[in-house]
Structure 1
Amino acid sequence: MTESMSASIATAPAVTTTMDGGVAVLSMQSKPYNLLDDRLTMEIIAGLDSAGQHNARAIVLRSSLRHFSAGADLDAMVEATKGTDVLNWRLVEVIRAFDAHPAPIVASVHGVCVGGGFELALACDLIVATQSAKIGSVEATVGLQPLMGAVQRIAQRAGAARAKEMAMLGRRYDAATLERWNIINRVVGDEDLDAATMVLAQELAHGPTVAHTATKRLVAVAINDGVAAADESMTEIQRPIFGSKDFQTGVRSYREKGIGMATFEGR
């Protein structure tokens, strides 16, 4: 291998961002298994920032490799925590970036999706997975617990008992089981993943973006602070909707054409 080829491989991005209409597609490509480390998490954050700069109205997080993600890079983790009990990989920062992004985010999951990879999917608003995907919180098998929010997010979606089961037993589950537990949204055939994900993402991208942003915010308040707090927050969170062009367009379209015929601009 020449020096120039070696340098090219070393500097290849871990995440690429492409636009498909109003959808930003973030493709993880950190060989061999999209193992999480500080570099991958920061490139994901950069991809989300890039999607915002391109005014993306929906985002897809996917893998261009054989698996979605096989979890954390354990060798890098051991090295990063030598002589300390703190892992400075900005893991909370990356999940906060998902929460704070105004656009709906869809995880497109295939192959192995475990550990930190599963936590990336859980940070998304919706999860689409293939029938053959193997998904789980496997950190207990190496003496860890989920480090990036899986315990609390599984508890939110499926209850405390399921969160404890998944975190403590460290098993892999099939996608149909996790759909039944309300942890993922949709299971599709392996050959249908890309098409099904993009149909969903494009539907979101063609929807009323200001309203979708408000939905994300309101759900976050309800989850973090309770239904009463969400009720109190509704007036402020919903305020941008009434001034949006999408609301005006939707009302006009309803009057002239009937329900479901509006073409939204996302503003």
Structure 2
Amino acid sequence: MTLPAPDPSSLPEPDPSSLPAPLPPSLTGEKAVLRLTFDGPLAVLTMDSAPMNLFDEAMWGAWADAVAWLTARPPRALLVRAEGRVVSAGVDVQVFADLDPADAESFWRTQLGITRALEALPCPTVFAAHSLTLTAAFELALACDLVVATAQARFGLVERKVGFTPSMGGTQRLALRAGPSRARELVMTGDLYRGSVLADWGVVNALLPQATFDTDARAYAMRLATGPTRAHRATKEIVRRYLADGLAAADDALPGIAADVTGSADHRRAVAAFLTDGPEHRTEYEGR
């Protein structure tokens, strides 16, 4: 199974040295349901719409603004997290009640576009799930490169409870990570699965302690943000080529991608440091 992917070569080159441009009003302020902040080279997207971080018009609009802003100005890494007792209880059911079937295809194409834009970012992306993560939020998690969670966190694509199917790309992205049988199981049963189970399935990349989850998740993402940015971008591009067109296509693209990284300042400095100080050298990557 393959997923159509945006052409990574069409994405803007990261410019970690540039200062962030003004953010859209939807992503700033105390009343923003989704906030975009920065911790040095790390961008942090925080869902904060008490009590359930539901996906409604405001949340989806903020997410659309966020991925558009980040696509134009890629950070060196992105951490997605949530405030509150739950990560998200998913889609506000009133959305289904109000949606005209005649408008459904356009509506869900728009929401799927958010997933694909997040997935297409050239920087490493990490989704941090400390607790309940349902439907739209889980689908966005599956669009991130890496997922960290507590062992007790619960995940679910529970659209069957309203006679529906996940429509932001979660089913197929779960199938890529865990296989089609597991994807069918999770979606068709509508059951909730612990982070520890999804780690066994290969969906969750790392389990972090509940007591220090926020700190550990940020450190996990910061390690990527302070890493070799252009090499990380190359890794993402190679994986995209493989998913879109298979092994041979990825092999065909690899020499050119590797050549591009060869010219990066981080690579040249790291090679010199390795030769001088050995494999435990302490080169600070600058994202260039």
Partner Cα distance (1:80, 1:87) in 2: 11
Q: Which moves more between the two structures, 236-245 or 100-109? A: 236-245
Partner Cα distance (1:253, 1:68) in 2: 42
Sort the Cα spacing of 1:39 and 1:238 in 2 relative to 1 into closer, same or farther, 3 A. farther
Q: CA deviation at 1:219?
A: 0.9
Give the partner amino acid of 2:232.
H
> CA-to-partner distance for each residue in 1:146-170, whole Å, 9 max, x for gaps?
1111111111111111011011111
After the TM superposition, which residues 87-236 of structure 1 pair with which residues of structure 2 at under 5 Å, given as runs? 88=107, 90-236=110-256
State the TM-score, normalizing by the size of structure 2: 0.83
SS in structure 2 of the partner of residue 224 of structure 1: helix
Question: Given that residues 86 and 132 in structure 2 are in contact (C-alpha distance below 8 angstroms), is that contact kept between their aligned partners in structure 1?
Answer: yes
Give the partner amino acid of 1:13.
A
Partner Cα distance (1:50, 1:251) in 2: 34
Q: CA deviation at 1:59?
A: 0.8
Sort the Cα spacing of 1:173 and 1:252 in 2 relative to 1 into closer, same or farther, 3 A. same
Q: In the alignment, what sits opposite 2:8?
A: none
Q: State the superposition RMSD in angstroms.
A: 2.0
Give the partner amino acid of 2:55.
L
Partner Cα distance (1:260, 1:199) in 2: 20
State the TM-score, normalizing by the size of structure 1: 0.90
Q: CA deviation at 1:95?
A: 1.1
Q: Which moves more between the two structures, 30-39 or 14-23? A: 30-39
Aligned length: 258
Matched, 1:265 2:279: no
Q: In the alignment, what sits opposite 1:39?
A: 58
Partner Cα distance (2:106, 2:89) in 1: 19
Give the partner amino acid of 2:267.
F
Question: Given that residues 42 and 221 in structure 2 are in contact (C-alpha distance below 8 angstroms), is that contact kept between their aligned partners in structure 1?
Answer: yes
Question: Given that residues 80 and 87 in structure 1 are in contact (C-alpha distance below 8 angstroms), is that contact kept between their aligned partners in structure 2?
Answer: no
Give the partner amino acid of 1:219.
V
Give the partner amino acid of 1:265.
E
Q: Which moves more between the two structures, 161-170 or 82-91? A: 82-91
> CA-to-partner distance for each residue in 1:36-57, whole Å, 9 max, x for gaps?
2343233224334545666521
Sort the Cα spacing of 1:45 and 1:245 in 2 relative to 1 into closer, same or farther, 3 A. farther
After the TM superposition, which residues 60-79 of structure 1 pair with which residues of structure 2 at under 5 Å, given as runs? 60-79=79-98
Sort the Cα spacing of 1:85 and 1:57 in 2 relative to 1 into closer, same or farther, 3 A. closer
Partner Cα distance (1:249, 1:72) in 2: 47
Question: Given that residues 58 and 204 in structure 1 are in contact (C-alpha distance below 8 angstroms), is that contact kept between their aligned partners in structure 2?
Answer: yes
Matched, 1:243 2:235: no
Q: CA deviation at 1:114?
A: 1.1
Question: Given that residues 68 and 110 in structure 1 are in contact (C-alpha distance below 8 angstroms), is that contact kept between their aligned partners in structure 2?
Answer: yes
Gaps in structure 2 of 5+ consecutive residues: 1-29
Q: In the alignment, what sits opposite 2:47?
A: 28
Partner Cα distance (2:121, 2:143) in 1: 11
Q: CA deviation at 1:84?
A: 4.0
SS in structure 2 of the partner of residue 86 of structure 1: helix
